[in-house]
Amino acid sequence: METEKHCLACNKKLEGRPDKKFCDPYCKSAWHYQKTKEGAAGFYAKVDRQLKTNRRILKSFNKAGKATVRADILKQHGFDPNYFTHYWKNSKKEVYLFVYEFGFLTRYENGKKKYVLVTWQNYMEKTT
C-alpha cells in the first residue's frame, strides 16, 4: 500500500517518482527561499554581510584617500572592526586592517578612539 505524498511548498498531491518532494521548480525554489529566510543566517552569510557593510562605510567616509574619523561615528553606522580581509604593516610597525581596498588604523587622540582611513596603494604590495 502506497502512502500519498504532497508538495512541501503548496501541499498539492505529488505524482511520479517516489522520492519527489515538490510539484514544480517554482515550489522548490519558494520552499528553499522561505526556509533560508526563516532560519538563522549561516556563519559565511553573516561574515560576508558584515564585510560588505564595513566596506561601504569605509568607502563613504574616505572620499579623498585618507581621513580620520571617530570610532563611535563608524560604529553608529554599523561598522565592526573585527571583520576585515587582510592587513598591512608599515615601516613604523603600525598595522592597518583592510576590508578589500579600504583600510583603517586605530589611533587614540585626546582620549578618544579614532580610525585613520586609507585606500590601498600599489607600494603596499611589498611586505615590510
Domain ranges in the chain are 1-39, 43-125
Segment 92-117 mean pLDDT: 96
Instruction: Check whether 128 has a pLDDT greater than 50.
Output: no
42 by DSSP, 3-state: which?
A: coil
Model confidence, pTM: 0.69
Residues whose CB is less than 8 angstroms from the CB of residue 59 and which lie 6 or more positions away in sequence, other chains included: 102
Owner of C-alpha cell 590601498: 120
Amino acid occupying residue 5: K
pLDDT given for residue 77 in this prediction: 97
Percent of the chain with pLDDT over 70: 94
Q: The cell 587582510 sits on which residue?
A: 86
pLDDT at 83 over 80: yes
All three cell numbers of 46, joined, read 553573516
Signed CA dihedral, 80, 50, 105, 86: sign only:
positive
Residue type, 87: Y
